[in-house]
Amino acid sequence: MKLKTVTLQWTGESLVLVDQRKLPHIVEYVECKTYQEVARAIKDMIVRGAPAIGAVAAFGFVLGAKEFSKLGKEEFLSSMNLVHNTLASTRPTAVNLFWALERMNKKLDSISSSEELLKSLEEEAMRIAMEDIEINKAIGMHGQELLKDGDTVLTHCNAGALATVDYGTALGVIRAAVEKGKKIRAYVDETRPYLQGARLTAWELVQLGVESILITDNMAGWVMKQGKINAVIVGADRIAANGDVANKIGTYSVAVLAHKNKVPFYVAAPTSTIDIRIKDGGQIPIEERSHTEVTHLNGVRVAAEGVKVYNPAFDVTEHELVNAIITEKGILRPPYDQSIARLFSSEGKM
């Protein structure tokens, strides 16, 4: 079994990832032949974006199974527990990581024949990846209904094909609107400190032929006040049962500004990003990353020596600031504790 998308390539023996740290100037690939290499790729942000992390972790699980498949049953299961824990420890906020690993563990528990072990696990990882593409397209189709011909959308961070297996969530909505013949423009927040907007979102939109205007993060409020923005669309790394949204740092500020300027604020994410075990955003773990991401730019120090740094990778936007959550199952509206509960009850998950 093989798979090739803009984000990843599964060869059957290894996982090849586009190195998102090098984009947009260099298109370079990193080959992962072990689950440890996959874990490092996730932690070091060679790959990023909640749906992409989940799919990549699933293939990392397969690589771990390949490595330990010759062991006896007890040793194998102990080793696979190590594989799971190693992959799960890479990024704490994105719930898709844990969702995908849980699926792989359930598949592992259901396999009775050692002859079918590797094939079944690989098939499950492929299902996760292929489902993500179809889910993103469905999100796009539902979300594009919220956009009118001629609308201008503000984005934050990168929630495009590079953050998923392919197509994208927030950018998938823009993409689907364009495919429907709508003329859409985009303002792109640069997204400090890692510049996912400037480096990745702008690059993707240029490739798609969408007119895009890059702005610094602290310009967003002024652009909204000038009436240039018709909607804000962002992705999510985890959504609580009450609709609170964890996403890239700066999302909360954008949501507050959108609320102040009466601009609708939409979140586009698969249902796998909704964590019904988390009551509200206060329970979502927030990853803090290296201080050098703030003190340095392209390897060059831009901050004074000795200054202290706080670098949370995510923030939480309260559900009151979210006008709609766009999923592959449809558009969720407030009150989210009820609409999310109905969604999961209908799927037999509550």
- What pLDDT score was predicted for residue 113? 79
Sign of CA dihedral 231, 255, 189, 46: negative
pLDDT at 349: 47
Q: Say which residues have a Cβ less than 8 Å from residue 328's Cβ, sequence separation at least 6.
A: 134, 135, 136, 138, 139, 142, 270, 271
The CATH T-level fold of domain 3-136 is Four Helix Bundle (Hemerythrin (Met), subunit A) (1.20.120)
Domain boundaries, the chain: 3-136, 146-346
Sign of CA dihedral 338, 144, 19, 198: negative
pLDDT at 114: 78
Nearest C-alpha neighbor of 182 from the set 159, 152, 161, 156:
152
CATH annotation of 146-346: 3.40.50.10470
Question: Which residues, including other chains, have CB under 8 Å from residue 132's CB and lie 6 or more apart?
Answer: 51, 54, 55, 164, 165, 166, 270
pLDDT profile of the chain (350 residues), mean per 10: 95 98 96 98 97 98 97 95 98 96 97 88 98 98 98 98 98 98 98 97 97 98 98 98 98 98 98 97 97 94 97 98 98 98 74
159 close to 86: Cβ distance less than 8 angstroms: no
- Model pLDDT, residue 346: 74
The 3-state DSSP composition of the chain as helix, strand, coil percent (nearest 5) reads 45, 15, 35
Task: Give the active site residues.
Answer: 237
pLDDT given for residue 1 in this prediction = 86
pLDDT of residue 347: 62
CA R_g for the chain: 20
Give pLDDT, residue 350. 36
